[in-house]
Amino acid sequence: MTGPPAGAADRRGDLVLVSGGLDSTTCLALAVREAAGTGAPAPLALTFDYGQRHRVELDRAAAVAGWLGCPQLVVSFDASRWGGSALTDAGIRVPEATATGGPAIPVTYVPARNLVFLSIAVAVAEARELRRVHIGVNALDYSGYPDCRPEFLDAFREAGRLGTRRGTEGTPVDVVAPLVAMTKEQIVRAGVDAGAPLELTWSCYQGGDRPCGTCDACALRARGFAAAGVPDPALVT
């Protein structure tokens, strides 16, 4: 595969994993701003319908992509068929934030979720000749999931280089995680600065019409907005 001439701007588009949550929406808004500054097309928003119990996030992801003017691709598979997570198995209770933390990985961990997501994302990017994959994982204010850490991302980049045609030809799909070293406060500030539609986002692990306010995702989000001194626009009635 040949690249652009030396010194020419690379105007291929990027791909952003978009769940409809705070982090991925901020990640998409940052990618949209970067694309606008370089003349690249709007990023492709890739969303996964994996049988999650908080299915409201699928509607939020579509709304976020539309608001930011990005095309969206939804890939579906049913992780509830193999279970192992409170996010896909109705028989496992989503714990309150006070019950999470410490060295144990919480039951809201979905086995190998980001490994699966990134594998599909790189496949889509390679097939569509997109430049990079953006993922909004965070390894500071997070729930301790192993597939959100920098060492996982480094290992995945190498696997992607070795396991794709583009990688073997010397132009691998890059995987970037612009939020990985940010606190939730910094993510909120970055989202506001980038003009992200944070009022459309959903972080709660429970379904329903309103966030539960007690799960780990709700607690992390609330602390981030409070530390940033910004009212959470998704909670404004």
**Does a structural domain hold residue 190?**
yes
Whether residue 4 is predicted with pLDDT greater than 50 in this model: the reply is: no
* Mean pLDDT of the chain, nearest integer: 91
What pLDDT does 98 receive? 59
What single DSSP character describes residue 39? T
**Does a structural domain hold residue 5?**
no
Tell me the C-alpha distance between 142 and 183, whole Å: 9
Per-residue pLDDT band at 2 (split at 50, 70, 90): very low
What pLDDT does 166 receive? 97
The tens digit of pLDDT for each residue in 11-56 reads: 589 999 999 999 999 999 999 999 999 999 999 999 999 999 899 9
**Does a structural domain hold residue 1?**
no
**Does a structural domain hold residue 8?**
no
Per-residue pLDDT band at 141 (split at 50, 70, 90): confident
**Does a structural domain hold residue 9?**
no
The tens digit of pLDDT for each residue in 81-136 reads: 998 999 999 889 998 885 444 558 899 999 999 999 999 999 999 999 999 999 99
Q: Which residue range is the domain that position 62 belongs to?
A: 15-235
Instruction: Give the CATH number of the domain where residue 31 resides.
Output: 3.40.50.620
Q: In this structure, are residues 130 and 172 in contact, taking their beta carbons and an 8 Å threshold?
A: no
The tens digit of pLDDT for each residue in 171-186 reads: 999 999 999 999 999 9
- pTM for the model stands at 0.91
**Does a structural domain hold residue 10?**
no
Tell me the C-alpha distance between 227 and 209, whole Å: 25
**Does a structural domain hold residue 6?**
no
What pLDDT does 221 receive? 96
Structure tokens at 59: 């509607």
**Does a structural domain hold residue 113?**
yes
Total structural domains in the chain? 1
